[in-house]
Amino acid sequence: MKKIIIILAGVLALIVVLALCALLPVDGEESGPLPANRESAATAFEMSTEFPELTDASYSIYRTDVPAVTAQSVEEVAARFGMTGKAEVCNQRTGEMRVVDDSKDDLVRLSMYPASGAVLYEVPDRMFPNAVTEPPALPSREEVIAIADAFLEERELLPSGAEVSAVEVDQRHEVWTAGSNEPEETYDVTLAVRYARTLDGFPVYGDEMAVTIGDGGDVVGMVRCWREVEATEKTKVISAEEAYEDLKVGKTVRPGDASRYGRVLIEEISIGYWMEPRISDQETVAPVWVFSGTAYYGGVEEPYQEYVAAVEGGVE
C-alpha cells in the first residue's frame, strides 16, 4: 500500500513562529499593555487559588544593554560559526541583518536583530528536512545538553545564569498509510535544548535561547534572544487583585485574543519579569503578574498563561 510521508513541524517551533506573528505590532501602534475592553470582554474568568500576599516591599527595575547591530558585527558573529559572507538587511521592517553561506554542503544562514541583539542560526535543510527515510540517530538527554552547552560556550554565547529549562522534541516525523486515521510510525527528527534565567530569584518570561540538535548529534539551529540587564532602582507593585481586574478587561503586556475562550480558570498567580520578542525594542524590564491556568472553548481545553504589568504605568 502506498505510503504518504509527512514531515510535521515540531509543536514548539510552530508556537514560536505564531507567537512572533501575534506579537508583531501594527504600523504606527506602540507595544505595551492593551487598552481596557479590547479583549476578554466575553470571557468568564474564574479562580481556583488565593491571591498571593506580597512578600517583598519592592522589586528591581532593570535597564537593558543591547549592543549595536551593524554589518560588521553580524559578520564577526557569523565568523564564530565558521561562516563567510556579506551581511545585508533582509527585513526593512525589523532591520534584521543576515549572512547566507552556501559554500558548504548545506546552506547556512545567520541573522541578527537590532531591537534585541538576538542571534538566529539555521541549517534549513537539516532543521526542516523535506523527507526523512529512516529514524535519525539522536543523542540522549544528557548528551544533547552537553552538546548544546559546548556549542554556545565555544562561540561565547552562553551567558552566566542560564540554566537548562527543558529538552524537548522540536520536530517530529510521521509515516501515514493512505486512508488511515493515525500514523503508522512516529519518531523524533530534532531535539531542542532550552534555557531560562531568573532575576532576583523571579523567573524571566519571553527570553529565547535554544539549541536544536539533529541526526548524529549535529547542531542544526540556534536562537539567542537574551538581553543583558542592569538593576537601576526599586519599585512597588500593584496588588494581585488589581492585576486580576486588568487581566479580565484585556489590559495585558502582550497582545492576544482571550475573547475566543468561553472560560478561563486561573490556578496560579506569581511575580516574574517579561522580555519583549526579538523584533521589539525594550529599554526597561519591570515586574509582571503572571496568571496561569486552563482555558476552555468549544469543548477543548488548553494551558493558559498571561502577563499583566505589575508597575503603575506599565512596562516600557
pLDDT tens by residue, 192-251:
999 999 999 999 999 999 999 999 999 999 999 999 999 999 999 999 999 999 999 999
Compute the residue count for the chain.
316
pLDDT band at residue 74 under the 50/70/90 scheme: very high
Instruction: Give the mean pLDDT of the chain.
Output: 87
Predicted confidence at residue 255, as pLDDT, reads 79
Q: Cell for 111?
A: 541573522
Whether the predicted pLDDT of 277 surpasses 70: yes
Q: What is the torsional sign of CA 142, 199, 69, 88?
A: positive
Q: Provide, rounded to the nearest whole percent, the portion of the chain with pLDDT above 70.
A: 85
What residue spans define the domains of the chain?
A: 31-63+236-309, 64-230
Question: Phi and psi of 11, rounded to 5°?
Answer: -60, -40
At 99, the pLDDT band (50, 70, 90 cuts) reads very high
Per-residue confidence (pLDDT) for residue 53, from 0 to 100: 87
Higher pLDDT, 43 or 305: 305
Reply yes or no on whether the pLDDT at 41 is more than 60: no
Region 137-154: what's the mean pLDDT?
Answer: 97
pLDDT, average across residues 16-33? 42
pTM (whole model) above 0.95: no
Domain 64-230 has CATH 3.30.200: no
Mean pLDDT within 108-129: 96
Kindly tell me if the per-residue pLDDT of 168 is higher than 50. Answer: yes
